[in-house]
């Protein structure tokens, strides 16, 4: 009997992971239907009939709406509550997670959640097994689409917009970083945000430090679509060739896209870019600010879920690019090899850590 129980538990384990895509797709459907915003606007627990009415969908779809709400509630995106003791009907309310999906609020992670299930993002997973036996492509993304991701973005304006909106939505969380870790930016006169896209992060930092002079460096096709404003300019270029001089060079979610060899090249360019006039006794006193994942830096009470997600991101970077997530020792090895003397890791952003690297 115990052996049979173990086998059935193993079956459940397999099926749970095999069907994990159901959770992703149902979440994307809820965002597409605008369910979080409808519940928010309703202002009180909403019943299925009221939700169906607000969705403007055929009444015969009521049971389908109930079933996706039941799964989403089980997964923590909504809570259900009895409206009164006489009626058995439930009303649905938002949770902390669904409040982060409100399109009318900031931060709003809906674009990032939809980006993850975009057909362009899903295609590489279907050819991952084939990619392992091929020598031509550096990533499964290239196997699926015939070009590395950055080249594909350059030629596919629809996906490029989806990607930039997703990254901008994720960067809105930086408002919390600027608020809680303001000391990281104190004393700086100039900052370069490498790979900063539409400048969401830099603008949030400027709200807290308006006198800071900032440059966003990104690929020419990205920078060309942006508008300079006070203390913020956009510059098209290539971080592997040159990075503008500044007191601090910032890299958010950049390094995990690249191999160790490429990261060394980037870090060496960052070290060269730290302002020459920011010296004390001939030693550069600026820094590189990295916001990225550090494997093994989880807090004990968060370890299981966060470790799993970090490992998922590690494989994701392999599939999309040729990058990886790194342990502190792997980060330290890169810093030493690129000529930096010391670093400080602050693991306070859930998945991500803030890493300050000093020359």
CB 92 within 8 A of CB 35: no
- Nearest Cα neighbor of 113 from 102, 105, 124 is 102
Q: What stretch of H or E contains 283?
A: strand 283-284
Going by their DSSP bridges, the two strands 90-94 and 190-194 should be labelled as unpaired
The residue annotated as part of the active site, out of 40, 145, 253, 256, is 256
Helices (H), the chain: 2-18, 20-32, 35-42, 48-55, 62-74, 96-99, 110-115, 119-126, 128-132, 140-145, 149-155, 157-171, 174-180, 200-208, 220-223, 260-273, 303-320, 328-337
- In order of 30, 199, 201, 359, the CA distances from 232 in angstroms are 36, 9, 11, 25
The reply to whether 256 belongs to the active site is yes
Alpha-carbon distance of 273 to 359, in angstroms, equals 11
Tokens of 146: 């015939």
- Nearest Cα neighbor of 25 from 122, 96, 164, 134 is 122
- Nearest Cα neighbor of 33 from 77, 90, 91 is 77
DSSP reduced 3-state for 84? coil
Alpha-carbon distance of 299 to 351, in angstroms, equals 10
What's the DSSP call for residue 230?
T
DSSP reduced 3-state for 118? coil
Nearby residues of 341 by Cβ (< 8 Å), 6 or more positions away = 358, 359
CB 36 within 8 A of CB 94: yes
Active site residues: 256
């Amino acid at each position: 009997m115990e052996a049979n129980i173990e086998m059935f538990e193993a079956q459940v384990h397999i099926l749970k992971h095999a069907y994990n895509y159901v959770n992703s797709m149902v979440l994307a459907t809820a965002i597409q239907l605008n369910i979080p915003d409808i519940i928010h606007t309703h202002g009180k627990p909403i019943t299925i009939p009221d939700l169906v009415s607000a969705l403007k969908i055929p009444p015969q779809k009521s049971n389908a709406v109930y079933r996706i709400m039941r799964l989403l509630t089980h997964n923590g995106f909504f809570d259900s509550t009895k409206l009164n003791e006489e009626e058995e009907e439930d009303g649905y309310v938002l949770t902390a997670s669904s409040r982060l999906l409100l399109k009318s609020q900031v931060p709003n992670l809906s674009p990032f959640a939809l980006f993850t299930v975009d057909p362009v993002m899903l295609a590489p997973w279907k050819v991952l097994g084939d990619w392992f036996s091929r020598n031509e492509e550096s990533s499964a993304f290239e196997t699926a689409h015939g070009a590395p991701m950055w080249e594909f973005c350059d030629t596919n304006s629809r996906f490029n917009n989806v990607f930039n909106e997703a990254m901008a939505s994720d960067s809105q969380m930086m408002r919390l970083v600027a608020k809680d870790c303001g000391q990281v930016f104190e004393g700086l006169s100039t900052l370069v945000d490498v790979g900063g896209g539409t400048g969401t992060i830099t603008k949030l930092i400027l709200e807290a430090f308006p006198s800071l002079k900032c440059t966003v460096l990104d690929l020419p096709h990205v920078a060309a679509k942006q508008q300079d404003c006070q203390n913020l300019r956009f510059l098209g270029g290539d971080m592997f060739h040159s990075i503008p001089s500044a007191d601090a060079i910032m890299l958010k979610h950049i390094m995990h896209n690249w191999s160790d060899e490429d990261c060394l090249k980037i870090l060496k360019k960052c070290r060269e870019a730290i302002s020459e006039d920011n010296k004390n006794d001939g030693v550069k006193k600026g820094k590189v600010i990295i916001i990225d994942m550090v494997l093994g830096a989880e807090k004990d009470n968060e370890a299981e879920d966060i470790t799993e997600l970090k490992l998922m991101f590690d494989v994701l970077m392999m599939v999309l690019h040729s990058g990886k997530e790194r342990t502190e020792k792997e980060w330290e090895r890169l810093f030493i090899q690129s000529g930096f003397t010391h670093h400080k890791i602050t693991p306070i952003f859930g998945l991500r850590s803030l890493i300050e690297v000093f020359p």
